[in-house]
Chains A and B, each alone.
Chain A
Amino acid sequence: MDAQKYVIRQISIFSENRPGRLAAIAHALGEEKVNILAFSIAEANGFGVVRALVDHPEKAHDKLMSLGFNVAFTDVIAVRMKDQPGGLYEVAKILGDAGVNIEYSYAYSGKEGAVLILRVDQVEEAIKKIKTSGATLLERSVFH
């Protein structure tokens, strides 16, 4: 199994917790014609981390770096969920049973159903377990 094709490059951006920072990031990506497919903001006291799946991660990374932002790539995976009660449970249970820890996660619901983005401690193991359980992993090519 080629697990690598399921590993998606998320960009993470360090941001101060003050008005206008998300706008600055979004404006930069817009200017570069980078489309944001999913994103979340994690907040701590005084600062935050903006995480995003985009169609051109390299372009986004370089643009934000050139503006002085702290930017990093992080590997995540994306799992298709049933957009109905119990959908999240199915996916979460697979990982829980396998002893794979979810560090953080966010989701979106699109035209073709709901998708769960996961950052896990054991990426390969998670991919294997999700595949064998019959759930659908989205390939990187779906995003970029």
Chain B
Amino acid sequence: MKSWDPRIEEMPKEDLRKMQYKLLKSLVYRLYSFSPFYHERMKEQNVHPDDIQELSDVKKLPFMFKRDLRDNYPDKIFTSTQEELVRYHVSSGTTGKPTVVGYTQNDLNAWTASLARALTSLGLGRGDVIQVSYGYGLFTGGLGMHYGAERIGATVLPTSVGNTERQIELMQDLGATAIACTPSYLLHIGEVAEKMGVDIKKDTKLRTGVLGAEPWTDRMRTRIEDWLGIKAYDIYGTSELSGPMFTECVEQKGFHIWSDLALVEIIDPKTGESLESGEKGELTITMLQKEALPMIRYRIGDITTMDEEVCACGRTHPRIQRIQGRVDDMLIIRGINVFPSQVEYALMGIPEVGQHFQIVVERKGALDDMLVRVELNKGSFSDKINDLMQVRQKVEHRLRNSLNVNVNVELVEPGSLPRFEGKAKRVVDKRSL
């Protein structure tokens, strides 16, 4: 598979590190000199640009958090003037107050280049029709993917989210070969297509899914791939980094994080200490070339591991593994950490139940009570109450084994759980703590 930018993508690791060091050094000088926010942060941390003598000195720099953006709403820490900006995006605010990201033309160019490399690495290019079913507008997903897809010469079908039946008609009529959306929206599209009598495998040209903006699992990937007859690739990014930026390549073994754009660290979320390559921890990213809203050691809150081996595809840039959970959507049930992605992973291995689920947490007396509502699959319905009880017990048993916490399961009717067109909200936490 050809690279979009072979000089960068296949650059020897040593050269990549040298480039990263140069970029980091000049970034830190620039921010220390021109940004009151970063200047003050570095003073507090007692670090001066001269202290950055090698790449690993990045550890000396202070962390940034989502709250830094919220506290400085809307644009107090931007390092470009409004005249230099060509675009704003505003985050959805699902986890708190919205945050605003500004972009210079160079920022948009870097973001688009990142996606051009990524989409090429998973096999898309000229001749493909890419249906962009991420939301267009304040959310970064739609426009980001749109620019990236145009850049590689693919034909963009900008359907955005919603009006699912029309999406399926257009997918057929215009021969979409790829779709970019959240995995939960693709499941919804699959279900609606079935109701319409459209077999995505046979009746469309779809062969690639670029899925992200919410955590999902490898088992869900297998299910989507088998069901819809496509290859499903994970995509990663957040608005603070620019938007969706990094995808898996055809090897499907983690996201390539372009080293000229981003410096990755994996840290222990409790101590902030850097972890060894391969250890699981919190993803921390320094954006090396952003102009309007630089991000230094930004703690995204996603839990993953990093792999620095050269990929079988030939790209030398490090890969991070599929996101295994978020520090902040972690539930604590009776003192035990539970990630919704663990629930999803356990459910994917049980053929009797569907892909959708809802977690309801309540406090009963002094104890947390966790209920998982799952849809009984059509093929698994038996007239016998006993069989149904056994299905429920099986699900409860599996969840208890993988989460180490007691879980009640409720079997519900197919199609009765909420479907999401954007980010799935699968947890209802009724505890008032």
Binding site for B on A (CB under 8 A): 10, 12, 14-16, 42, 44, 46-47, 49, 51, 65, 68-72, 74, 103, 119
Contact of A49 among B385, B410, B415 (CB under 8 A): B385
Question: Are the CB atoms of A14 and B385 closer together than 8 Å?
Answer: no
Known: A44-B388, A70-B381, A71-B381. A14 touches B415 (CB 8 A): no
Return the chain A residue nearest B379 by Cβ: A70
CA distance A51 to B392 in the complex (A): 20
Known: A49-B383, A70-B381, A72-B382. A14 touches B388 (CB 8 A): yes
A-B contact pairs, 15 of them (CB 8 A): A12-B381, A12-B383, A14-B388, A15-B413, A46-B411, A47-B411, A49-B383, A65-B378, A68-B413, A68-B414, A68-B415, A68-B416, A70-B381, A70-B414, A74-B383
Query: Which among A42, A51, A70 is the interface contact of B378 at CB below 8 angstroms?
Result: A70
Contact B385 A42 (CB under 8 A): yes
Question: CB < 8 Å: which of B381, B383, B388, B410 contacts A51?
Answer: B383
Residues from chain B with Cβ under 8 Å of A65 in the complex: 378
Kindly list 4 other residue pairs between chains A and B, CB separation below 8 angstroms, not including A42-B385, A46-B392: A12-B383, A44-B389, A68-B416, A119-B383
Interface pair B410/A46, CB less than 8 Å apart: yes
Q: How far is the CA of A104 from the CA of B219 in the complex (A)?
A: 38
Chain A residue nearest in CB terms to B195: A66
Using an 8 Å CB-CB cutoff, how does the interface string of B368-390 with A read, 1 for contact, 0 for none?
00000000101001111100110
The residue in chain B whose Cβ has the minimal distance to the Cβ of A10 is: B383
CB distance from B187 to the nearest CB of A (A): 15
A13 and chain B: residue at smallest CB distance: B381
B336 within 8 A of A: no
Most buried by A among B382, B383, B385: B383
A51 to B410 CA separation, bound complex (whole angstroms): 21
CB nearest to B409 among chain A residues: A46
- Does B350 interact with chain A (Cβ within 8 Å)? no
Would you list the 4 A-B pairs with minimal beta carbon distance, nearest first? Answer: A70-B381, A12-B383, A68-B415, A74-B383
Cβ A72 vs Cβ B383 within 8 A? yes
**Complex interface: chain B residues within 8 A of A10 (CB):** 383
Instruction: Give complex CA distance A70, B379 in Å.
Output: 8
What CA separation (Å) do A69 and B378 show in the bound complex? 8
In angstroms, how far is the closest chain B Cβ from the Cβ of A62?
13
Report chain A residues within 8 Å CB of B381.
12, 14, 70-72
Cβ-defined contact, B384 with A103, below 8 A: yes
Q: Note all chain B residues with C-beta closer than 8 A to A12.
A: 381, 383
Most buried by B among A69, A70, A119: A70
B412 within 8 A of A: yes
Separation of A10 and B384 alpha carbons in the complex (Å) = 13
Q: Which residues of B contact A47 (CB under 8 A)?
A: 388, 410-412
Q: B392 contacts which chain A residues (CB < 8 A)?
A: 46
B413 lies within 8 A of A69 (CB): yes
Q: CB within 8 Å of A: which of B380-433?
A: 381-385, 388-389, 392, 410-416
In whole angstroms, what is the CA distance A119 to B382 when docked? 13
Q: A51 contacts which chain B residues (CB < 8 A)?
A: 383
**Knowing A16-B412, A46-B410 touch, does A70 contact B385 (C-beta < 8 A)?**
no
| Cβ-defined partner of B376 (8 Å) among A14, A44, A74, A103 | A14
Chain B positions within 8 Å of A46 at CB level: 392, 410-411
Please tell me which one of the listed residues B383, B385, B412, B413 contacts residue A44 in the complex, with CB atoms under 8 A apart.
B385
Shortest C-beta distance, A14 to chain B (Å), equals 5
Residues of A within 8 A of B410 (CB): 46-47
A16 to B414, CA, bound (A): 10
Q: Which residues of B contact A68 (CB under 8 A)?
A: 413-416
A47 to B376, alpha carbons, bound, how many Å?
11
Distance of A91 from chain B, by nearest CB (Å): 21
Give the distance in Å from the alpha carbon of A42 to the alpha carbon of B415 in the complex. 22
In whole angstroms, how far apart are the Cα atoms of A127 and B15 in the complex? 83
Residues on the A chain within 8 Å of B411, using CB: 14, 46-47
**Given A14-B376, A44-B389, also A70-B413 (CB < 8 A):** yes
- Chain A: minimal CB distance from B190 (Å): 14
Q: How far is the CB of A68 from chain B (nearest CB, A)?
A: 4
- Name the distance in Å between B396's Cβ and chain A's nearest Cβ: 12
In the bound assembly, the distance between CA atoms of A2 and B389 in angstroms comes to 35
> In the complex, A47 Cα to B392 Cα: how many Å?
11
- Of chain B, the residue at the smallest CB distance from A103 is B384
A35 to chain B, nearest CB (A): 21
**Contact present for B388 and A49 (CB under 8 Å):** yes
Partner of B413, one of A16, A42, A74, A103: A16
Tell me, in angstroms, the Cα distance from A69 to B376 when the chains sit together. Answer: 10
Q: How far is the CA of A10 from the CA of B383 in the complex (A)?
A: 10
Instruction: Give B280 Cβ to nearest chain A Cβ, in Å.
Output: 36
Chain B contacts with A in 264-322, Cβ cutoff 8 A? none
Give CA–CA (A14, B412) in the complex, Å: 9
**Chain A residues, Cβ within 8 Å of B385:** 42, 44, 49
B15 CB to closest chain A CB (Å) equals 57
Give the distance in Å from the alpha carbon of A47 to the alpha carbon of B384 in the complex. Answer: 12
A41 CB to nearest chain B CB (Å): 11
